Amino acid sequence: MAKVNTNFDNLVPSYLFAEIAKRVTDFTKENPDKPVIRLGIGDVTLPLAPIVIDAMKKGCDELGNKETFKGYPDYEGYLFAREAVANYYKSFGVEVDADEILINDGAKSDAGNITDIFSQDNIVLVPDPVYPVYVDTNIMGGRKIVYVNGTEENGFNPEPDSSVHADLIYLCSPNNPTGAAMNKSQLKAWVDYAIANNAIIFYDSAYEAFIEDPDIPRSIFAIEGARKCAIEMCSLSKTAGFTGTRCGYTVIPKELEMDGKNIYKLWYRRQSTKFNGVSYPVQCGLAAVFSEEGLKQIQENLSYYKENAKIIAKTLDELGISYTGGINSPYIWLKCPNGMGSWEFFDYLLNNVYVVGTPGEGFGEMGKGWFRLTAFGSRENTIEAMERFKKLLGK
Ligand code: PLP
């Protein structure tokens, strides 16, 4: 008999977004005249930049021509795409070599697959609350997970505890769901902890393009020592609206070794076995994003979302509601007012002002009593939702 991976039995059913959808559907069925605003959305809503569309069309035309046709791409991505990423890093003062970059179909794949090259008996450290992929992929792999708690007191930037050992560490900054971003000294503490534990940090920088504060690093490789202990995963999903186009990149320093093995070489072996690369037109789109004109064009969308985030943050300031994020992040993580639970606040908002957000407990135990709003809605809806907040929650 074929045996299945029984580690899957240990996964917590992922009912969060299904439950949100059900409650909203039930509400709109009973109240068809009530204008619901969704600020729980974690997907972008603005279209791709014109320069990206042109580059992808040109890439398609080349595939349609015998002289310029291309077959399988390089596993690690075309050199022109990797050089574009390396130049982007240089623009914020971080040196990584094009040969240390691997182009992929988005950060989720690499964040989920990277454990392929690590043994089952590693101890995994994950902050709570957290992007669920880190936890679920390690439950699937049967690894032991230890948590570090994000709290109101530590601003949802938990510090390493030197009395707890870990081998694999997941960090995400600016964070989904909390919007909290680590400054240089906070990140340095994690790098030092990783080196002391002979551990590897998987650093998810999917939201780095939202960083405005110069003391918040755009890359873990801005931190001394990181090349000895870190892998960075990033994506064009939120940077340039590629959630449907699918493209990202992972950076592995060539000298990174663990357990006597070169990590880049192991990962390359894994990718060349299980992954056949990213399509040529999409890699042309990536290179266009990181061109001088591309960076200008994507700023328009980023500024739009950042302004939405500020509108939400300003409203919470006025209402005296605690939150993290809102600057350096498209997420705003707020403490449910009047001691309400996450789902209680969800229903309270939906029933009274028809605004939908995401209950924090869907991201871990420490998310109980917290709530995520996002800046990916339209300006009009964001302003209207905040007016409704003021009416409902103003003193
Ligand atoms: N990492 C984090 C922290 C995310 O929030 C997301 C998407 O929401 C991803 C990775 C996945 O991004 P991609 O679309 O590049 O797979």
Span 13-31, pLDDT tens digits: 877 888 999 999 999 999 9
Number of the ligand 1 atom closest to the C-alpha atom of 248: 15
Residue 395 has pLDDT above 90, yes or no: no
Distance 233 CA to ligand 1 centre (A): 9
- Measured between its terminal Cα atoms, the distance across the chain in Å is 64
Question: Which are the contacts of 31, defined by CB distance < 8 A and separation ≥ 6?
Answer: 354
Distance CA 301, CA 313 (A): 19
pLDDT, one tens digit per residue, over 211-269 is: 999 999 999 999 999 999 999 999 999 999 999 999 999 999 999 999 999 999 999 99
Q: What is the pLDDT of residues 188-199, one digit of tens each?
A: 999 999 999 999
Residue 282: both structure tokens together: 């999409």
Q: Residue 352 C-alpha to ligand 1 middle, in angstroms? A: 32
Number of Cβ within 10 Å of residue 181's Cβ equals: 28
CB neighbours (10 Å) of residue 184? 14
State the DSSP string of 277-304: ---HHHHHHHHHHTSHHHHHHHHHHHHH
Residue carrying the six token digits 């994507």: 298
Give 128-180 pLDDT, tens digit per residue: 999 999 999 999 999 999 999 999 999 999 999 999 999 999 999 999 999 99
Q: Within 13 A of 314's CA, how many CA atoms are on the CB side?
A: 11
Report the phi/psi class of residue 143: left, alpha or beta, with left for phi > 0 and alpha for psi in -120 to 50.
beta
- pLDDT for position 102: 98
Question: Cβ neighbours of residue 176 under 8 Å, at least 6 residues apart?
Answer: 42, 131, 206, 207, 331
pLDDT band for position 42 (50/70/90)? confident
Average pLDDT along the chain: 97
Q: Would you state the pLDDT for residue 325? A: 97
Sole residue written with tokens 């980023």? 302
What is the best residue among 105, 135, 176 to mutate for testing ligand 1's pocket, by most ligand atoms within 8 Å of CB?
176
- Dihedral of the CA atoms 395, 374, 302, 387 (nearest 10)? -30
Residue 41: its pLDDT value, please? Answer: 79
Task: Give distance in angstroms: CA of 66 to centre of ligand 1.
Answer: 36
Note if the bond before 13 is cis, omega within 30 degrees: no
Q: How far away, in angstroms, is 243 Cα from ligand 1 center?
A: 9
pLDDT for the residue 195: 98
Is residue 40's pLDDT more than 80?
yes
Whether the predicted pLDDT of 64 surpasses 90: yes
Strand (E) or helix (H) holding 196: helix 184-196
Contact predicate 39/334, CB 8 Å: no
pLDDT score of 14? 77
Cα of 395 vs centre of ligand 1, distance in Å, is 37
Name the residue of 233, 235, 358, 376 whose CB sits within 8 Å of the most ligand 1 atoms, as the mutation to test its pocket.
235
AA letter at 34: K
Which two tokens mark 146?
A: 């230890």
Looking at residue 355, what is its pLDDT? 98
Ligand 1 atom 8: residue of nearest CA: 42
Distances (CA, A) of 110 to 5, 44, 371: 21, 20, 27
Residue closest via CA to ligand 1's atom 11 equals: 108
Query: If DSSP codes are grouped into helix, strand and coil, which group holds residue 187?
Result: helix
The alpha carbon of 358 and the centre of ligand 1 are apart by a number of angstroms equal to 16
Separation of alpha carbons 144 and 129, rounded Å: 17
Q: How are beta strands 257-258 and 261-262 bridged, if at all?
A: antiparallel
Query: Looking at residue 15, what is its pLDDT?
Result: 78
Q: In this structure, what token pair is assigned to residue 198?
A: 């002979």
Residue nearest to atom 3 of ligand 1 (CA): 176
Percent of all residues in the chain with a pLDDT value above 90, rounded to a whole number: 97
As a dihedral over the C-alpha atoms of residue 280, residue 114, residue 139, residue 40, rounded to 10 degrees, the angle is: -50
DSSP single-letter state for residue 137: H
In the three-class reduction of DSSP (H, G, I as helix; E, B as strand; rest coil), residue 383 is classed as helix
Tracing tokens 């135990």 back to the chain, one arrives at 365
For residue 107, the CA-to-ligand 1 centroid distance in Å is 5
Measured CA distances, 139 to 126, 146, 147, 319, 340 (Å): 12, 12, 13, 40, 30
| Pocket-testing residue among 237, 239, 245, ligand 1, by greatest number of atoms within 8 A of Cβ | 237
pTM of the model: 0.97
Candidates 108, 110, 170, 232: which one to mutate for ligand 1, based on the most atoms within 8 Å of Cβ? 108
Which residue ranges have their beta carbon within 6 Å of ligand 1?
Answer: 42, 106-108, 111, 131, 172, 176, 204, 206, 235, 237, 243, 248
Confidence of residue 12 (pLDDT cuts 50, 70, 90): confident
Q: 108 CA distance to ligand 1 centroid (A)? A: 5
Q: From CA 110, how far away is CA 92, in angstroms rounded? A: 23
183: left (phi over 0), alpha (psi -120 to 50) or beta: beta
Please list, residue by residue across 251-278, b when 16 or more beta carbons sit within 10 angstroms of its beta carbon and e when fewer do.
Answer: bbbeebebeeeebbebbbeebeeebebb
User: Residue 114: its pLDDT value, please?
Assistant: 98
The residue written with tokens 């993580």 in the block is 333
Whole-number Å distance, alpha carbon 56 to ligand 1 midpoint, is: 22
